[in-house]
Structure 1
């Protein structure tokens, strides 16, 4: 590996070993040069590699520097979208994968053996859609993604949760570009509530079916506004 890749891996290892939380400032450039024994060019390239992946952010100006980022499927979604675009993968294929993926996560969430955890995780989604504030598009999308993230987290498999959630992040970005998804607010909230109840009750087959029905409504909504571009390549975010 290149020196920049080696130092990037070392930085990630230190973040994990030291249990650094998102928002924690990393050491100064001088301290990192001394610690990792690489050139300034290699260190900066390594930090840029991590910044592109969303694992750190770099604050500019006085008092700035590298800051620990978060493990977020949105970052994986951005990188994945580039690969899908370059491979020629279409929106039709993305939607198909998304429906299956979320159904699988809902099924696994409902089979989580910790019944109390299922109920507590789903509780805020069962109560009349109080988790969504449709006034702001950003907060609306974040809240909608929050529901799917909660389901994914209950699946008990972090690899599946992160990987499959990335599909939804790409779709959410695209939906926001096509039209205002808040028009579907009542339908989506009702769907969330039914899925959350099925997951809480441990009804895995029902949870899968309801989740897939929920996403097919979103896919239908998008398809009507894509003007026949379901066969076009997924755009890089």
Structure 2
């Protein structure tokens, strides 16, 4: 039992050290690309064993907080955790929860209408411009293989236009988690036309600040999309989320 207890203690020390390093990054107002002190300096500063420091740095690298630059003059460099880092961690949890695509579709149905409503309330001029440009691309690519990717991009932009970064993060994360599923299926020409019609309504409602109309249009869009996927490929929506597919 003793080796196991010691391993747990070392892990806790490394995690505590990682938290201290993050606090120091924030206190020092470090930006992505800034170098952290060399290993010997960090050992002296935090008064920990070399193995503990390296474990803490590996943990931060996995979370996207830093990247370890190799070679002469290398070392820890400040990064910024991205949506993909969160999606990758979440997919591992969902893998063991045996979550499937249906669960992700239901989550989207639950939050997407409110995301659209908040976007109608808070979207900036820049947000509206980006959404309008994306929608024009969608129209131009209605029959193209890029349609699904552009569709996801429109929803991502809408999530961040909500003014709530949590909505933006969740929307983008769900798209990363479902990309492989949707790419393997695709939308029919008829379904693409339906998607465009509702997206046009969402965009117009967001542009005019009509929260109720934005919520209603998005609700009809995502519920219809979920029904379409379930009817066309019930075996697909039953597939489980697998870690490493992002």
Bin the TM-score by the shorter chain: 0.7 to 0.9
- Give the conservation status (yes or no) of the 8 Å contact 1:126–1:192: no
Change (3 A) 1:228 1:118: same
Structure of higher CA gyration radius = 2
Which residue of structure 2 aligns with residue 72 of structure 1?
A: 82
Once the two structures are TM-superposed, the CA of residue 188 in structure 1 deviates from its matched residue by 6.2
- The number of residue pairs the alignment matches comes to 229
Specify which of 78, 83, 104 is matched with residue 94 of structure 1: 104
Residue matched to 1:234? 241
SS at match of 1:228: helix
What are the residue-to-residue correspondences of 1:58-137 with 2, within 5 Å? 58-112=68-122, 118-127=124-133, 129=135
Deviations 1:30-51 (A, max 9, x none): 2222222211111111111112
Aligned pairs for 1:7-46 (under 5 A) are 7-46=17-56
Is the CA contact 2:135–2:154 (under 8 Å) kept in the aligned structure 1? no
Measured after TM superposition, the shift of residue 11 of structure 1 is: 1.6
What whole-Å deviation, never above 9, does each CA across 1:151-172 have from its counterpart, x for those lacking one? 2233333344434542222112
Quote the offset at 1:29 in angstroms: 1.9
Deviation at 1:92, TM superposition (A): 0.7
- Give me the whole-angstrom Cα distance separating, in 1, the residues matched to 2:211 and 2:162: 11
CA deviation profile, 1:107-134 (whole Å, cap 9, x unmatched): 222222xxxx533312122136466797
| Secondary structure of residue in 2 paired with 1:23 | coil
TM-score, normalising length: structure 1: 0.76
Which residue is equivalent to 2:63?
Answer: 53
The alignment partner of 2:235 has SS state of coil
Question: Quick one: which of 155, 158, 176 aligns to 1:151?
Answer: 158
Task: Return 5+ residue gaps in structure 2 as ranges.
Answer: 1-10
Given the alignment of the two structures, is residue 175 of structure 1 paired with residue 185 of structure 2, yes or no?
no
Structure 1: distance between partners of 2:181 and 2:101 = 10
Shift of 1:80: 1.0
Consecutive unaligned residues of structure 1, counting only runs of 5 or more, are none
1:3-57, CA deviations, whole angstroms, 9 ceiling, x for partnerless residues? 1101111121122223322333322222222222211111111111112222222
Query: What is the aligned-residue RMSD (CA, Å)?
Result: 3.4
Aligned with residue 206 of structure 2, among 178, 199, 206: 199
Kept after mapping to 2: 8 A contact 1:124/1:131 = no
